[in-house]
Structure 1
Amino acid sequence: MRILVVIALLFTNFLVSQNQFNTKDLTTTRADLELNEFKQDTTANAVVLYEYGNAKIDEKSFNLILNYNKKIKILNRNGFNQANVKIYLYNSGGNKEKITNLIATTTNIEDGKVSRIKLDDSQIFEEKADENHTIFKFILPNIKEGSVITYSYTFESPFIYKFNTWRFQEEIPKLYSEYNTSIPGNYDYNIKLVGELKLDANESTIKKGCVERNNGASADCTVGKYAMQDIPAFIEEDYMTSAKNYLSRIEYELKVVKGFDGTVNNITKNWETTDSELRTDSDFGKQLKKESLVKKLIDPELLNQKNDLDKANYIFDFVKNNYNWNNYYRIFKDVSIKEVIEQKSGNVAEINLLLYNLLIKHGIQTYPVLLSTRNNGFITKLYPVISEFNYVILRVEIDGESYFLDATDSALNFGEIPFKCLNQYGREMDFKNGSHWVDIKPKTSSAIQHKIIVKLNDDGTFTGTLTTAKTGYNALKARQNYTRDDQDNLKQFKEKYPDYTFGDIEVEINKNNKSLFTETMSISGPLTTIGNKIYLDPFIFKIFTKNPLQLNKRTYPIDFGYKNNFIYNIKIESSDNYKIIETPQEKSYKLSNNSGLLVFKPIQKENILELSFRVHFYNTMYTTNYYPELKSFYNDIVKIQNNTVIVLEKNN
């Protein structure tokens, strides 16, 4: 009986081993090779089975040392790119980072046998990326569907202020990722966990006397262990800011270095110190005091403006229409108000700081606002990291009202900033009272409204008019794309909707000084006739042709940047020769907490049918717990548009 029990246990363990990847170490098991599907994410092309890092500051050289191990299962051909590994190494002032002790292996099953091929030195390359970076790269050999690749190396860096960021999440899923650190007590880092995923292990202990000097001085070390398991792949989707805002990782910023001789070196500065440095910076603070260069730029007509708001509008229009942005973002380098005046072209800082000097010269209360664009990522609020800022706009205050300004684009109106600047917050530089954080939000919501009137003709066609009105950021995008050639604009409609004929286009921009873009045109096309019945799709123009939200699970917010509204109204008139015999049902859906609304309402009066379709997003951002609900909401929007048909019958 005992023998049978032992055999049963062995058989059970064998079955378990055949159905589970090894996530405990770098060893490639038979199960790792034979399992060729990843049930947790069937869309994955590869999966990290095991990842391990051990980072410390060497007690002798005081360099940063990282020992790194990684094992990846290649599931299909689309995962072959995981065998091409690139590591960026930093160099500055004669010091440089380096990779040593590289061991890499590809393991396959060939003819029923396990085959291992090690990386050859000929498959290791180095190339210069830029002045301060070299790319160390290698390509693992003999990659096939089902391969398991492993590699390990030692990374060494003399730049201890750049303690390694550990990235738990990447574009493929991971089963296990662990990071161990040992940091001497005389190095004080700000440690930040980024992303919405939670740690499965978060341990910290003190190791006594881990660093010793010849003079008898010593330091204790903080030993940390951080781990996650079953980490989903990070897949980018619509309505998001920079991926680096949400990729789950641990970051380190050196704050203070305490010498063994008692000296203290504050690496991370506070905002008071940073403000003082920026105030005297030749590329920033000193460029805010160039009123003498701008005093003769403005036409004397400015003096005839009725009030400060009109005056500020005049100055804003003058700068945006006479000075061109050269597409450079740099804001702390090569900034010269004198040069932008002479060349009529400049970078973001030059254009907007020229505007600043003109506004200040003419008595308008104005402040520069440093920010990071949506693609550049969020700014750290805990302490100043000037390198994270890449853009500057202005805030003016007139009669108690605030307006954000950016003169880099002639399509922008007074009080508008580019969509790329809607990244939640910025740092307002007030050198008298101290800088502070400001929220960056649009003052008004945006909308697209289609109003269509069509008449059904007895010859099997329809004719009518289309008026599209756009406000806010929808209007801004339309202005940026607009050409003053009517034929060119009509061509765009014809290419997008080849079944219809368009003509007599009229465009109005900023009517009554409002941020409004309106297009009106005639429209005609054939009706779908089967027998004595006509089938009409009332959604000639569709707001969404498909659901933009497709992920099974999203680990980052849905960030629209601004509140948006979509309104579609169509009035269908038919002659007495037609009878409406089938109309759609009224529908409405709400998002929780009154954060969104969808209303579809048909109204019929004899031979006239009016359809109203409204979609409102009342939030600029929705947290991840809204995702399933939003995904369903979009499905309802698409379903109504794609499945609504009006049926008419010809009278005998």
Structure 2
Amino acid sequence: MKRKILFTILFINTYLSFNLYSQDYKLREVSKAELQKSYSAIDSTAGAEILYYDKEVYYDVSYNSVVLVTEIRKRIKFYNNRPEDLKYATEKIYLYIDGDRESVSKIKAYTYNLVAGEIEETKLDKGQIFEKELSKRYKKVSFTMPKVKKGSVVDIYYKERSPYFFRIDEFNFQFDIPAKKITAKIFTPDGFVFNRIPKGYIYPKFEMETKIDQRMGMKANIYKYDIENVPPLKDEKYVDNIENYRGGVLFELMSTKNSYGIMKHYSKSWEDVARTIAFSNDYENEIKRTNIFEDDIDALIASAEEEQSLELAKDIFNHAKKNLKWNDEKSKYFDKGIRKAYKEKSGNSADINLSLVAMLRYAGFDASPVVISTRDNLKPFFPTVDRLNYVIGRVAIDGEEYFLDATDKYSEFNVLPIRDYNWNGVMVDTPNELWKLINLKKPDASKLINVVTATITEDGKINGKVRTKKSNHYSYLFKKKYFSQSEEDYLRDKETSLDNILINEYETENLEEEGAVSEIFSYEYEKATEKVGDKIFLKPLMFFMEDENPFKLEERKFPVDFVYPFTDKYIINFKIPENYEVTSIPESIKLTFGENSGLYQYIISNNGKFIRLAVDLEMHDSMIMPNNYLFLKQFFNEILKKDNEQIVLTKVK
């Protein structure tokens, strides 16, 4: 009897604790005050706002299974009808379905509007819930709330179930719209030890206690988080992935202890992660199935001037790019395997890049896969297999290390697609038993050189010729853009981006080859100058000048990421009209940023009928930390100010 009374007391205390913790929110109890609310007090410019968001995670434990359950409750208010605001009326739930399947159930969702002073409720119909298989590993369940418009409030609830009890999803306490109140509760068995890793710059209130959880039938550790009035974190220019800096907490399972006191450890080092991947079938056995391409690689080897040379490696790389087309699916594991992918000439990122590594190894090269997390997949904050989603190739030749990605036909040795530059990589070299975390080689500086002739006419128009040379990632990005559309559309976009100049006689050089690419064209520029009386006012950078500083925040708490260092050079030679003379010209200057992070140089000279301008902008560091953000912002402010200075030409009387 005493045991029963104690059980009842524990149950009541637990229930009261849960109830008090969430007493300010109940599903379907939307007030008129919430519907009449016309703006967010946190951010008056916001088109939508989270009024309440709660995430509760617990374990459903039975005799023969452990299931991780996540319950989501949210209430969202809409202040505008703009598409960028109404997108928050769509909920997307991503589930892992390869092997043991995750699932979602108990979806309950309602839209509320104020109609003739009364609250109207519209329930989400089951027919409005859609499932879509994204790959053999993932599917998406989504629904869009009905009748959402300016003034609406929506209530959403659903329950996810996952057999992967060791993998608690990240808890976010910050979104790209403001949030009035966010709570989170995590109930874990007392024998489960988690490492809690905070991220971002939002710090919620935290409490921890241990109580009996009836759903598990045992003692549980309860982690509670609570925060109010959270400002939005919006995406900015030059950021790797804004989600890396969003306030939240990550749960890493360190160990478990069963009722017999037996411990099992889950926490891994990066070497453990590499070993786990290395001894998977894909990296140990499947990568050796080379029969299907051996004749083709033999032919390349036979035609090479030197065995295991850089030129041969590039030939094999180009062969892989030509014969394997990426299906846009990111993965670190084979989908089709080498034989099927080569036969069908397509596959996911692992099909392509593991095949590339196999080709290089077959030709005698020291090649290995490098498993990474792409920019859209966030940075891994602790050693984990799950947070790695992609694989590239690495080859060592004559003491030099090269990184390769054959999913993109325009990539080159050490010129990877932008998505690959996110973090380090896990090298998985099974033949040599090398499994470790390595640094990806940082990109070499991309160079842009513009050489321009400019003849100024008496009516203030300018015509001339431009020759532009682009190297490394500038060349890579140009080719991707150029070949993604017709030349006519490309030139139309280019004219618009260059202040609506008229381009004639356009041609390119080295477009189909690796390395630097050049553009050459003639132009006519009608908006070049401002003519006032007998004076012509000209901004000498003309259509290359930026209109605004890309850095606008008063404070930035995450790094500026340019991806790669760069050097932009402009050499412009002006010929002024016969009956005009230069009466005012900007001064030459040199600006530096940091010790050796950035340089801006503006050198201008005049010899009577000709003006020569040389401008250099160099960023030697591709990553600028938040403590240097204001200096960077001021650096670009000074550049913009200098670019706006004018040359004044006066008519000779």
For residues 281 and 558 of structure 1, the distance between their equivalents in structure 2, rounded to whole angstroms, comes to 37
Does the 8 Å contact 1:370/1:428 carry over to 2? yes
Query: 1:646 and 1:198, CA in 2 relative to 1: closer, same or farther beyond 3 A?
Result: same
Structure 1 position 616, deviation (Å) = 2.2
Does the 8 Å contact 1:486/1:505 carry over to 2? no
Paired residues for 1:324-473 under 5 Å: 324-385=325-386, 388-431=387-430, 432-457=432-457, 462-473=462-473
Structure 2 length normalisation: TM-score? 0.80
- The residue type paired with residue 383 of structure 1 is T
Structure 1 position 369, deviation (Å) = 0.8
Partner of 1:13: none
| Deviation digits for residues 165-198 of structure 1 (CA, Å, limit 9, x no counterpart) | 432112211233222333222233343323x223
Query: 1:212 and 1:496, CA in 2 relative to 1: closer, same or farther beyond 3 A?
Result: closer
Other structure's SS at 1:227 match? strand
Does the 8 Å contact 1:33/1:109 carry over to 2? no
Partner of 1:239: 238
Other structure's SS at 2:439 match? strand
Structure 1 position 310, deviation (Å) = 3.4
Query: 1:43 and 1:397, CA in 2 relative to 1: closer, same or farther beyond 3 A?
Result: same
Partner of 2:593: 591
Pairing partner for 1:582 from 569, 572, 584: 584
Choose 388-397 or 457-466, whichever is displaced more: 457-466
Query: 1:622 and 1:124, CA in 2 relative to 1: closer, same or farther beyond 3 A?
Result: farther
Partner of 1:176: 181
Structure 1 position 473, deviation (Å) = 0.4
Other structure's SS at 1:601 match? strand
Pairing partner for 2:132 from 126, 129, 133: 129
Other structure's SS at 2:235 match? coil
For residues 521 and 503 of structure 1, the distance between their equivalents in structure 2, rounded to whole angstroms, comes to 6
Partner of 2:605: 603
- The residue type paired with residue 47 of structure 1 is E
- The residue type paired with residue 106 of structure 2 is I
- The residue type paired with residue 426 of structure 2 is R
Query: 1:322 and 1:534, CA in 2 relative to 1: closer, same or farther beyond 3 A?
Result: same
Structure 1 position 475, deviation (Å) = 1.2
For residues 592 and 338 of structure 2, the distance between their equivalents in structure 1, rounded to whole angstroms, comes to 51
Structure 1 position 371, deviation (Å) = 1.4
Does the 8 Å contact 2:111/2:121 carry over to 1? yes
For residues 215 and 314 of structure 2, the distance between their equivalents in structure 1, rounded to whole angstroms, comes to 65
Query: 1:447 and 1:137, CA in 2 relative to 1: closer, same or farther beyond 3 A?
Result: same
Partner of 1:479: 479
Does the 8 Å contact 1:302/1:314 carry over to 2? no
Paired residues for 1:83-102 under 5 Å: 96-99=103-106
For residues 90 and 341 of structure 2, the distance between their equivalents in structure 1, rounded to whole angstroms, comes to 45
Pairing partner for 1:568 from 557, 567, 570: 570
Query: 1:128 and 1:288, CA in 2 relative to 1: closer, same or farther beyond 3 A?
Result: closer
Other structure's SS at 1:160 match? coil
Structure 1 position 474, deviation (Å) = 0.4
Choose 250-259 or 605-614, whichever is displaced more: 250-259
Choose 329-338 or 440-449, whichever is displaced more: 329-338
Structure 1 position 436, deviation (Å) = 1.2
For residues 138 and 493 of structure 1, the distance between their equivalents in structure 2, rounded to whole angstroms, comes to 38
Other structure's SS at 2:375 match? coil
- The residue type paired with residue 235 of structure 1 is K
Does the 8 Å contact 1:89/1:136 carry over to 2? no
Query: 1:456 and 1:294, CA in 2 relative to 1: closer, same or farther beyond 3 A?
Result: same
Structure 1 position 325, deviation (Å) = 3.9
Does the 8 Å contact 1:370/1:426 carry over to 2? yes
| Deviation digits for residues 74-113 of structure 1 (CA, Å, limit 9, x no counterpart) | 434445555565656777758744337x5868486976xx
Structure 1 position 37, deviation (Å) = 3.6
| Deviation digits for residues 91-145 of structure 1 (CA, Å, limit 9, x no counterpart) | 7758744337x5868486976xxx5455657589543333875747574778653
- The residue type paired with residue 396 of structure 2 is E
For residues 503 and 171 of structure 2, the distance between their equivalents in structure 1, rounded to whole angstroms, comes to 56
Partner of 1:4: none
Structure 1 position 427, deviation (Å) = 0.9
Query: 1:311 and 1:107, CA in 2 relative to 1: closer, same or farther beyond 3 A?
Result: closer
For residues 482 and 48 of structure 2, the distance between their equivalents in structure 1, rounded to whole angstroms, comes to 44
For residues 305 and 64 of structure 1, the distance between their equivalents in structure 2, rounded to whole angstroms, comes to 57
Other structure's SS at 1:444 match? coil
| Deviation digits for residues 219-250 of structure 1 (CA, Å, limit 9, x no counterpart) | 54322222333322122222223343233222
Other structure's SS at 1:312 match? helix
Other structure's SS at 2:376 match? coil
For residues 192 and 623 of structure 2, the distance between their equivalents in structure 1, rounded to whole angstroms, comes to 38
- The residue type paired with residue 172 of structure 2 is R
Does the 8 Å contact 1:89/1:98 carry over to 2? no
For residues 467 and 236 of structure 2, the distance between their equivalents in structure 1, rounded to whole angstroms, comes to 31
Other structure's SS at 1:429 match? strand
For residues 174 and 69 of structure 1, the distance between their equivalents in structure 2, rounded to whole angstroms, comes to 13
For residues 578 and 243 of structure 1, the distance between their equivalents in structure 2, rounded to whole angstroms, comes to 52
For residues 433 and 262 of structure 1, the distance between their equivalents in structure 2, rounded to whole angstroms, comes to 35
- In the alignment of these two chains, the number of paired residues is 615
Does the 8 Å contact 1:283/1:334 carry over to 2? no
Other structure's SS at 1:127 match? strand
Partner of 2:205: 201
Structure 1 position 344, deviation (Å) = 4.5
Structure 1 position 590, deviation (Å) = 4.0
Structure 1 position 359, deviation (Å) = 2.5
Structure 1 position 471, deviation (Å) = 1.7
Question: Can you give the 5+ residue segments of structure 1 that lack an aligned partner in the other structure?
Answer: 1-22
Query: 1:389 and 1:609, CA in 2 relative to 1: closer, same or farther beyond 3 A?
Result: same
The higher radius of gyration belongs to 1
- The residue type paired with residue 439 of structure 1 is N
Query: 1:227 and 1:148, CA in 2 relative to 1: closer, same or farther beyond 3 A?
Result: same
Choose 248-257 or 178-187, whichever is displaced more: 248-257
Other structure's SS at 1:435 match? strand
Paired residues for 1:124-273 under 5 Å: 126-130=129-133, 135=141, 137=143, 139=145, 145=151, 160-163=165-168, 165-194=170-199, 196-207=200-211, 220-262=219-261
Pairing partner for 1:614 from 613, 616, 619: 616
Other structure's SS at 1:304 match? coil
Structure 1 length normalisation: TM-score? 0.80
Does the 8 Å contact 1:269/1:384 carry over to 2? no
Partner of 1:11: none
Query: 1:553 and 1:600, CA in 2 relative to 1: closer, same or farther beyond 3 A?
Result: same
Does the 8 Å contact 1:123/1:139 carry over to 2? no
For residues 444 and 173 of structure 2, the distance between their equivalents in structure 1, rounded to whole angstroms, comes to 38
Question: Can you give the 5+ residue segments of structure 2 that lack an aligned partner in the other structure?
Answer: 1-21
For residues 572 and 370 of structure 1, the distance between their equivalents in structure 2, rounded to whole angstroms, comes to 51
TM-align CA RMSD: 4.1
Other structure's SS at 2:518 match? strand
Query: 1:379 and 1:90, CA in 2 relative to 1: closer, same or farther beyond 3 A?
Result: closer
| Deviation digits for residues 460-513 of structure 1 (CA, Å, limit 9, x no counterpart) | 6544332212122001122334469988876665565586454444533289x9
Other structure's SS at 2:321 match? helix
Percent of matched pairs sharing the same residue = 25
Other structure's SS at 1:375 match? helix
Other structure's SS at 2:243 match? helix
For residues 496 and 191 of structure 1, the distance between their equivalents in structure 2, rounded to whole angstroms, comes to 47
- The residue type paired with residue 436 of structure 1 is K
For residues 90 and 406 of structure 1, the distance between their equivalents in structure 2, rounded to whole angstroms, comes to 26
- The residue type paired with residue 400 of structure 2 is E
Structure 1 position 516, deviation (Å) = 1.7
Structure 1 position 617, deviation (Å) = 2.2
